[in-house]
Structure 1
Amino acid sequence: MSKTIHTWKRISLVEENVKLPTGNSITHTTIVHPGAAVILPITADNRIIMINQFRPSLKKWLLELPAGTIENQESPLVCAQRELEEETGYSSDTFISLGQFTPLAGFCDEIQHLFIAKQLSKTSRYSCDDDEVIDVITLSVEEIEQKIINGEITDSKTIACLSKAKLCKYL
């Protein structure tokens, strides 16, 4: 049995009875999320396009990779293509999948799909959602790593995507 407690945009808070592998049953509350795409845009000179975005939940700016929630029944790749253009004003026909990331498994079912975007083209389209305040910046991998070390970049999806790209030898 499950009960939707609250819905906002495409996200719901759902309470349900869950049987654990031990045989015990519990009532568990989950944030049900349609998933997201995270994009690591790499320029021709090997710089990374990032966004500095004001996050109302934290009431502060976060330096992060472009990303967004999957809409309707779009694929993660289509979401990545759309979000890259909406948030940065760049497009690409070359996307490389880096797999998936589960950022909040203790209370959320969101899966983030990680992508590298290469062979970028500047577009005239730059359209943020009403609740998005974004500045676009370009940094070297070394500058990003130093900002992670210094605590200037704390966004988990950014750190995970960059780490996966490095481990897979794309950076």
Structure 2
Amino acid sequence: MSRIGKKEIIIPNNVSVIINDKEILVKGKKGELLHNLSELVEIEATEKIIKLKIKDKIKKTQSIYGLSRSIISNMITGVSEGFEKRLTIEGVGYRSHIEGKNLILNMGYSHSITIKPPKEVNIKVENNTSIFISGINKEQVGQIAATIRSVRPPEPYKGKGIRYENEIIKRKVGKAGK
């Protein structure tokens, strides 16, 4: 049985949750999110608490159980507080800027890379080397951050590339000379 799935979700005062069959709509000050729950999970809601229950004790149901609880919890956090990721660019000549809503990265390739975010995700660039990604959907914010990082992941010898703000890069020792 999932320990995460057993936890109840507490709904803050500024968030409203509407449940229609297997569809859950969460509205808050930052926006609204919609999610369709699996048929394997049942949902019980009161005014301030949401609880999930499983129908059968099969492995697929138990894995969906914890996942569904996490998704609903992230939806509530997203519409009330939002999610953010920060990326840092390190390296000589590596920089970024915003054109319209698109992020333009100059990462030492012969061409610049353009990343078009979804309309729910906001990207800001501070001093050409700090990228700030924010939005209400945790999955989209994390996916855009991972896409930007994958353009030039940090390399282990000098640490050049794009990394998350608190990411620690294990450095390797270079080639020993004779």
The normalised TM-score by structure 2 is 0.27
Greater relative contact order structure (CA < 8 Å, 6+ sep): 1
The normalised TM-score by structure 1 is 0.28
Q: From the CA coordinates, give the structure whose radius of gyration is larger.
A: 2
